[in-house]
Amino acid sequence: MKKILLASAEAVPFAKTGGLADVVGTLPQAFDREEFDVRVIMPKYKAIDEKYKNKMEYIKHIYIDLGWRSKYCGVFKLEHEGCLFYFIDNEFYFGGDKLYSYIHEDIEKFAFFSKAVLSILPHIDFRPDILHLNDWHTGLVPVMLDAQFRDKPFYQGIKTIMTIHNLKFQGIWGLEETKDATGLDGHYFTADKLEYKGDANLLKGGLVYADHITTVSDTYAKEIQTPAYGEGLEGLLLARRDSLTGIVNGISYSDYNPANDDSIFAKYNRRDFPSRKRLNKTQLQGLLGLEKNPDTFLIGIVSRLTKQKGLDLIAFNMDRLLSQDVQLVVLGTGEPDFENMFRYYAGLYPKKVSANILFSNDLAHKIYAAADAYLMPSLFEPCGLSQLISMRYGTVPIVRETGGLVDTVIPYNKYTGQGTGFSFRNYNGDELWSAISYAMEIHQDRRVWNSIIRQGMAKDFSWQEAAKKYANLYSKLIV
């Protein structure tokens, strides 16, 4: 039995701010349980729902030295959907109302969490073959394993994998402050280790010391070895390219299934979607105060409203987009300029634009089910889950050719009839407009459009495919 421990700052259903939580919370269920024992460890946040906290079982507590500090570390466990989750308890670090706060607080918080992941292993009756670490919050685990645990027999032979979910977030803080918060020796803060432009970089430390590195799509794995996408770490990633693997994320096919989704107005499958999606569209139009017209080209956006998601390209095209027979439904929060831009157009065109500056899982499902097309013109996109969800619901993605969007969306080819969406290459507003215009033109021929939908709905983006690739990687690393 191969033993894997996934360490993460968040995981569904307990705590979530983004796609990281979806990955860590749902990937373990996809493994063959006769071959792999995959468990998860995360912080015991105050924000976790009481219904879960009440079911947690206390294991024990220890004290952890973190530099000059000695900190309480409680350990709890809970089985959820066949996966065992461990929770690290410390109210000083995890007692806030939000998962993340100021970066200087988070550096010490996740330095504590990283050391706790290693320190509690002898106390939980589970010695992992592999510690699978996720994003900068756990970047110190491989460093601390080397610095403070490697000479102890219990830890010898434990391998580490560092997964990059978004290279833009690296956990950067002052050198002296990080030395103080971690208790690591000074020689770990050199240019070939944690030091980065005069500061300390926690993700960089993980990338240097991990046995293997993964990221969440094949194309993103190649992109981050270049200056355009490498966020200053392209040299390190290029040097470690032989230990770098891209594995496309999946989605939960039980959480996202139009055939049994209670959030949508009319359930459907790959055979009966044409009339059912039209019903979902008119019902959503009525709910949001848009003009009820099943033939209007309805575009959905469910996203963080940030520049990374290509919102400036959308802003560039809003006036000419809304001069067409088009409706736009937006759901999400983010940068004030983009929030206000969508509010402005919703005020100007109340029958054509619905700006929902909030997050609602229920409304998100309704949008995926109702929209004709899903707009995702990202500046960069490590993997992206929204385009996978949209295809699952028969909503055709319009994407920029970057990262995981390239790896998952096949551009429609009018000569072969093959394709699952529409795409454009350069980060340019006119190219986006060409892709949208082409999609609107093809939408006029419902036979062709429905064929694109069927091809998208037939794709398998469940976690099973990703789990097979992780299983192969795990097996290669375990000697």
156-185 pLDDT tens trace: 999 999 999 999 999 999 999 999 999 999
Handedness of CA 174, 178, 181, 183 (dihedral sign): negative
Q: What is the rounded distance in angstroms from the CA atom of residue 219 to the CA atom of residue 239?
A: 17
- Residue 118 banded pLDDT, cuts 50, 70, 90: very high
Check if the beta carbon of residue 197 is closer than 8 Å to that of residue 145.
Answer: no
pLDDT value of position 67: 85
The 8-class DSSP code of residue 82 comes to T
The pLDDT of residue 68: 87
Which tens digits make up the pLDDT trace of 441-463? Answer: 999 999 999 999 999 999 999 99
Instruction: Say if residues 24 and 30 touch (Cβ distance below 8 Å).
Output: no
Domains of the chain: 2-250+464-477 (3.40.50.2000), 273-459 (3.40.50.2000)
Check residue 395 and give its pLDDT. Answer: 98
Instruction: Give 169's DSSP letter.
Output: -
Percentage of the residues of the chain whose pLDDT score is greater than 90? 95
Question: Which amino acid is located at 423 in the chain?
Answer: S
Are 317 and 436 in contact by the 8 Å Cβ rule? The answer is yes
Q: What is the mean pLDDT of residues 50-62?
A: 97
Q: How far apart are CA 173 and CA 199, in angstroms?
A: 6
| Model confidence band, residue 282 (pLDDT cutoffs 50, 70, 90) | very high
User: Confidence band (pLDDT; 50, 70, 90) for 479?
Assistant: confident
* Confidence band for 303, pLDDT divided at 50, 70 and 90: very high
What's the average model confidence in pLDDT over 16-29?
90
Q: Radius of gyration of the chain from Cα atoms?
A: 23
Q: What is the pLDDT of residues 215-259, one digit of tens each?
A: 999 999 999 999 999 999 999 999 999 999 999 999 988 889 999
The token pair that represents 261 in the structure block: 């989704």
The residue type at 171: G
Taking each helix axis from N to C end, the angle separating 273-288 and 446-458, rounded to the nearest 10 degrees, works out to 100
User: Whole-number mean pLDDT of the chain?
Assistant: 96
At residue 19, the pLDDT reads: 83
β-bridge mates for residue 212, sequence order: 161
Q: In what order do the strands lie in the sheet with 195-196?
A: 172-174, 199-201, 195-196
Q: What DSSP assignment string belongs to 19-83?
A: HHHHHHHHGGGGS-TTTEEEEEEEE--TTS-HHHHTT-EEEEEEEEEETTEEEEEEEEEEEETTE
pLDDT band at 348 (very low <50, low <70, confident <90, very high): very high
| pLDDT for the residue 177 | 94
Span 144-155, pLDDT tens digits: 999 999 999 999
pLDDT band at 41 (very low <50, low <70, confident <90, very high): very high
Half-sphere exposure of 152 (CA within 13 A, CB side): 13
Question: Under a CB-based contact definition with an 8 Å cutoff, are residues 214 and 237 in contact?
Answer: no
